[in-house]
Amino acid sequence: MRMPAPIRLRELIRTIRTARTQAEEREMIQKECAAIRSSFREEDNTYRCRNVAKLLYMHMLGYPAHFGQLECLKLIASQKFTDKRIGYLGAMLLLDERQDVHLLMTNCIKNDLNHSTQYVQGLALCTLGCMGSSEMCRDLAGEVEKLLKTSNSYLRKKAALCAVHVIRKVPELMEMFLPATKNLLSEKNHGVLHTSVVLLTEMCERSPDMLSHFRKLVPQLVRILKNLIMSGYSPEHDVSGISDPFLQVRILRLLRILGKGDDDSSEAMNDILAQVATNTETSKNVGNAILYETVLTIMDIKSESGLRVLAINILGRFLLNNDKNIRYVALTSLLKTVQTDHNAVQRHRSTIVDCLKDLDVSIKRRAMELSFALVNGNNIRGMMKELLYFLDSCDPDFKADCASGIFLAAEKYAPSKRWHIDTIMRVLTTAGSYVRDDSVPNLIQLITNSVEMHAYTVQRLYKALLDDISQQPLVQVASWCIGEYGDLLVSGQCEEEEPIQVSEDEVLDVLEGLLVSNLSTPVTRGYSLTAIMKLSTRFSSLNRIKKVVSIYGSSIDVELQQRAVEYNALFKKYDHMRPALLERMPIMEKTATNGPSETVQTNGETDSTILDTKHLPSISQPASQANDLLDLLGGNDVVPIIQTTVPTKPASAGGELLDLLGDLSLTGGPTPTPASSVPMSQPPFLLDGLTSQPLFNDIAAVIPPMTAYNKNGLIIEFTFERSNPNPNIAVITIHATNSTEADMTEFVFQAAVPKTFQLQLLSPSSNVVPAFNQGSVTQVIRVLNPQKVRCYCEPRTHSASYRSRSSEISPFVLKHLQKSDECLSGAKLNIAKLKLRAASH
In whole angstroms, give the CA distance from residue 199 to residue 204.
Answer: 9
Distance in Å, CB of 17 to other proteins, minimum? 9
**Which residue(s) pair with 642 in the sheet?**
678
Helix segments in 114-189, DSSP class H: 118-131, 134-148, 153-169
Q: Which CB sits closer to other proteins, 285 or 625?
A: 285
Helix (H) or strand (E) holding 110: helix 105-113
In whole angstroms, give the CA distance from residue 142 to residue 527.
Answer: 75
In whole angstroms, give the CA distance from residue 397 to residue 434.
Answer: 9
CA angle 433, 436, 440 (to 5 degrees): 90
Q: Counting beta carbons within 10 angstroms of the beta carbon of residue 527, is it exposed (0 to 12), middle (13 to 18) or buried (19 or more)?
A: buried
Distance in Å, CB of 215 to other proteins, minimum? 20
Binding region for other proteins (CB under 8 A): 9-10, 13-14, 53, 56-57, 60-62, 81-82, 85-86, 89, 96-97, 119, 122, 126, 129-130, 154, 157-158, 161-162, 164-165, 190-191, 194-195, 198, 236-237, 239, 244-246, 249-250, 253, 285-286, 288-289, 292-293, 296, 324-329, 359-363
Distance in Å, CB of 190 to other proteins, minimum? 7
Distance in Å, CB of 630 to other proteins, minimum? 53
State whether the Cα torsion 304-309-312-317 is positive or negative: negative
3-state secondary structure of 774: coil
Q: Which CB sits closer to other proteins, 52 or 716?
A: 52
Distance in Å, CB of 250 to other proteins, minimum? 8
Distance in Å, CB of 82 to other proteins, minimum? 6
Q: Which CB sits closer to other proteins, 120 or 222?
A: 120
Q: Is the peptide bond before 725 cis (omega within 30 degrees of 0)?
A: yes
Distance in Å, CB of 371 to other proteins, minimum? 19
In whole angstroms, give the CA distance from residue 675 to residue 581.
Answer: 19
> Going by C-beta distance under 8 Å and a sequence separation of 6 or more, which residues neighbour residue 707?
715, 716, 717, 718
State whether the Cα torsion 293-296-300-302 is positive or negative: positive
Q: Which CB sits closer to other proteins, 129 or 526?
A: 129
In whole angstroms, give the CA distance from residue 502 to residue 515.
Answer: 20
Q: Which CB sits closer to other proteins, 181 or 682?
A: 181
Q: Which CB sits closer to other proteins, 151 or 594?
A: 151
Residues 34, 41: contact at Cβ < 8 Å? Answer: no
Q: Which CB sits closer to other proteins, 34 or 361?
A: 361
Residues 713, 770: contact at Cβ < 8 Å? Answer: no
Distance in Å, CB of 158 to other proteins, minimum? 6
State whether the Cα torsion 57-59-63-68 is positive or negative: positive
Q: Which CB sits closer to other proteins, 311 or 690?
A: 311
Residue 459's Cα: distance from chain center in Å? 32
Q: Which CB sits closer to other proteins, 331 or 428?
A: 331
Q: Which CB sits closer to other proteins, 92 or 577?
A: 92
Cα atoms in the 13 Å half-sphere on the side-chain side of 401: 15
Helix segments in 535-682, DSSP class H: 542-551, 558-572, 578-581, 622-625, 628-633
Distance in Å, CB of 57 to other proteins, minimum? 6
Q: Counting beta carbons within 10 angstroms of the beta carbon of residue 801, is it exposed (0 to 12), middle (13 to 18) or buried (19 or more)?
A: exposed
- How far from each other are the two terminal CA atoms of the chain, in whole angstroms? 147
Distance in Å, CB of 243 to other proteins, minimum? 11
Distance in Å, CB of 110 to other proteins, minimum? 19
Residues in the chain, overall count = 841
Q: Which CB sits closer to other proteins, 129 or 683?
A: 129
Distance in Å, CB of 481 to other proteins, minimum? 40
Q: Which CB sits closer to other proteins, 122 or 634?
A: 122
Distance in Å, CB of 671 to other proteins, minimum? 55
3-state secondary structure of 716: strand
Residues 51, 87: contact at Cβ < 8 Å? Answer: no
Q: Which CB sits closer to other proteins, 13 or 813?
A: 13
Residues 74, 110: contact at Cβ < 8 Å? Answer: no
Q: How many other C-beta atoms can be found within 10 angstroms of the C-beta atom of residue 523? A: 16
